[in-house]
Amino acid sequence: MVKELNSKVVTLAEHELNTNTAAFYPRFVDALDFYTAMFESIDVTLTREHKERINVEQHCLARDVVNIKACEGAERVERHEPHGKWRSRLTMAGFSTHSLSSLVNATIKSLLQNYCDRYSLAERDGALFFGWLNRDLVAASAWM
């Protein structure tokens, strides 16, 4: 369906965890690891009383966590997949990766270092991976 849109470039930014096809226990463990890293990374940038932090935690992260861990079937709408699965799917659909700008990558890396040196940014497999310590949190890629 995406190919039929005839877009020049398709971008994808996705949480780097599998909450779609994984069985409950592996999904639970992966989500626990992912959200632990996510909350730790927020902890070093915003105080617990900060209005933006409270808003993100209550309206975004809490909803996702509850949906991933407590819902099954049609009720579970948070269905993230890691970059490898997206890469396979998009390649089979006839897309090829398009390199991301090295200037943008360098700028993002510089901005992250201003917050905390525990953030990571790595380019591999045609994608840009944003992470916390040793855990990838988000993968962003462009496809043609």
DSSP calls for the chain: --GGG--S-EEEEEESS--SSS-HHHHHHHHHHHHHHHHHHHHTTS-TT-HHHHHHIIIIIHHHHHHHHH--GGG-------HHHHHHHHHHTT--EEPPPHHHHHHHHHHHHHH-TTEEEEEETTEEEEEETTEEEEEEEEE-
Structure tokens at 126: 């045609």
Q: What is the pLDDT of residues 115-126, one digit of tens each?
A: 788 999 999 988
Average predicted confidence (pLDDT) for the chain: 89
Q: What is the pTM of this model?
A: 0.86
Give percent of the chain with pLDDT exceeding 70: 100
